[in-house]
């Protein structure tokens, strides 16, 4: 899919925050450990020109095979994280937290260089990547920003696990989790993604898992770099992390963080309402594949800074979304 196709209309910049494309002001780097590979990785974020999109570049493989686009149709694995791959078999794993941070700050164009197979997990949240972005700052580019406008309800999943996208006048996300474990239990959260929302409400929420699953994951070649420093770990009726939770509902907040990252792989911001019910990386990606399988589901639309009023055409309430699903 071409990153910017023909635009079918325009929406107020207040619906998406920014009317011009954005990139980083300068390069910045960090070093960390891959959650699943356990490998030490250096990651560098670099500015990129307008219409470039987000691109991962592996420095440890031949240049001809190094580039992996951050796009839904390059998602190759969704076990416990979102992994991208190109036609040469070059992979980049655990991209969702970094991509979520870029989405949260409206960064459209960025080159991400790394010398290993996985984005470092850092503390298990998006906050370290937010820190990097804030250190160098973001600048507008001389090109209009476009959004993917949802034209009709799209659903993926079944009665127990599903994800939906529906028309809306802005960008909103909601999620519901329901675990048998009493520490997590049932949590639900809805947010409108406006300036500052991601930073304040989602960025610090960490990935989580259950102690009894650790050995099984490691036998599968996963979670080799996992520790209490980069994940919330739950053992039966208690949290093992000494510092406890950052939010009372940190678990559902992290699921929303993951969804923000997974959905930004659409190739641009989504103008619509997302709802996830016991969903994960696999359903998030399947939802995008279903969305783009039919041109009647969506269109590119220009984000305009001419009008302060949000458009109301095509708005769907959450109740309508749930009835449709």
Confidence of residue 218 (pLDDT cuts 50, 70, 90): low
Does the pLDDT value for residue 5 go beyond 50?
Answer: no
286-296 tens-digit pLDDT: 999 999 999 99
Say what the pLDDT of residue 37 is: 78
Q: What is the mean pLDDT of residues 125-146?
A: 97
CATH fold, domain 146-324, is lpxc deacetylase, domain 1 (3.30.1700)
Rounded CA gap, 31 and 33, in Å?
7
Residues 6+ apart with CB under 8 A from 207: 35, 97, 121, 124, 125, 230, 231, 232, 254
20 contacts 142 by C-beta, under 8 angstroms: yes
CATH 3.30.1700.10 range(s) for the chain read 146-324
Separation between Cα atoms, residue 32 and residue 29, nearest integer Å: 10
What is the chain's mean pLDDT, rounded? 87
Say if residue 204's pLDDT is above 60: yes
Q: Comparing 48-62, 79-93, 144-158, 181-195, which segment has the lowest mean pLDDT?
A: 181-195
Residue with tokens 């699903």: 325
Note the pTM of the prediction, 2 decimals. Answer: 0.88
The rounded Cα 61 to chain-centroid distance in angstroms is 25
Q: Please give the pLDDT value at position 195.
A: 75
Q: Where does CATH 3.30.230.20 sit in the chain? A: 19-144
CA distance 111 to 53: 8
Average pLDDT over residues 246-275: 97
Task: Say what percent of the chain tops pLDDT 70.
Answer: 85
Q: What is the pLDDT of residue 312?
A: 28
Instruction: Calculate mean pLDDT across residues 137-147.
Output: 96
- Superfamily of 19-144 according to CATH: lpxc deacetylase, domain 1 (3.30.230.20)
What pLDDT does 219 receive?
63
Q: pLDDT higher for 222 or 284?
A: 284
pLDDT at 2 over 80: no
Task: Give the pLDDT mean for 110-126.
Answer: 96
- Name the pLDDT band for 52 (thresholds 50, 70, 90): very high
pLDDT digits (tens, 9 = 90+) for 53-67: 999 999 999 999 999
Hey, what are 285's tokens?
A: 């990606």
Give the mean model confidence (pLDDT) for residues 98-117. 97
- pLDDT value at position 305? 63
Dig out the tokens for 113 from the structure.
């260089």
Q: What is the DSSP letter of 231?
A: S
pLDDT score of 193: 87
Percentage of the chain with pLDDT > 90? Answer: 73
Query: Is residue 281 annotated as part of the catalytic site, yes or no?
Result: yes
Residue 263: both structure tokens together: 């959905």
Here the contacts of 309-315 (C-beta below 8 Å, separation 24 or greater) are: 309/12, 310/11, 310/12, 310/14, 310/15, 310/169, 310/170, 311/11, 311/12, 311/15, 311/169, 312/169, 313/169, 314/149, 314/150, 314/151, 314/167, 314/168, 314/169, 315/167, 315/168, 315/169
């Amino acid at each position: 899919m071409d990153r910017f196709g023909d635009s079918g209309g325009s929406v107020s910049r207040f619906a998406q925050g920014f009317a011009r494309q954005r990139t980083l002001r300068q390069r910045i780097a960090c070093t960390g450990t891959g959650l699943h590979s356990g490998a030490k990785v250096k990651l560098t974020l670099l500015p990129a020109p307008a219409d470039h999109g987000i691109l991962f570049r592996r420095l440890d493989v031949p240049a001809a095979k190094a580039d992996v686009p951050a796009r839904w149709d390059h998602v190759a694995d969704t076990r416990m994280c979102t992994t991208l791959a190109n036609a040469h078999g070059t992979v980049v794993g655990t991209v969702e937290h970094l991509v979520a941070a870029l989405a949260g700050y409206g960064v459209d164009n960025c080159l991400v260089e790394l010398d290993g197979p996985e984005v470092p997990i850092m503390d298990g949240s998006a906050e370290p990547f937010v820190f990097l972005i804030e250190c160098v700052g973001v600048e507008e580019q001389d090109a209009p920003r476009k959004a993917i406008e949802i034209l009709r309800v799209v659903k993926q999943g079944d009665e127990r696990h599903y994800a939906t996208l529906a028309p809306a006048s802005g960008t909103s996300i909601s999620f519901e989790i329901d675990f048998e474990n009493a520490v997590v239990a049932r949590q639900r959260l809805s947010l409108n993604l406006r300036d500052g929302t991601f930073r304040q409400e989602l960025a610090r929420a960490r990935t989580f898992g259950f102690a009894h699953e650790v050995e099984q994951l490691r036998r599968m070649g996963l979670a080799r770099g996992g520790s209490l420093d980069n994940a919330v770990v739950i053992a039966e009726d208690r949290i093992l992390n000494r510092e406890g939770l950052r939010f009372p509902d940190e678990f559902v907040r992290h699921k929303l963080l993951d969804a923000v990252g997974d959905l930004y792989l659409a190739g641009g911001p989504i103008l619509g309402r997302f709802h996830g019910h016991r969903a994960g990386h696999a359903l998030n990606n399947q939802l995008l594949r279903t969305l783009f399988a039919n041109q009647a589901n969506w269109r590119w639309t220009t984000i305009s800074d001419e009008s302060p009023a949000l458009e109301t055409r095509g708005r769907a309430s959450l109740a309508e979304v749930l009835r449709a699903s």
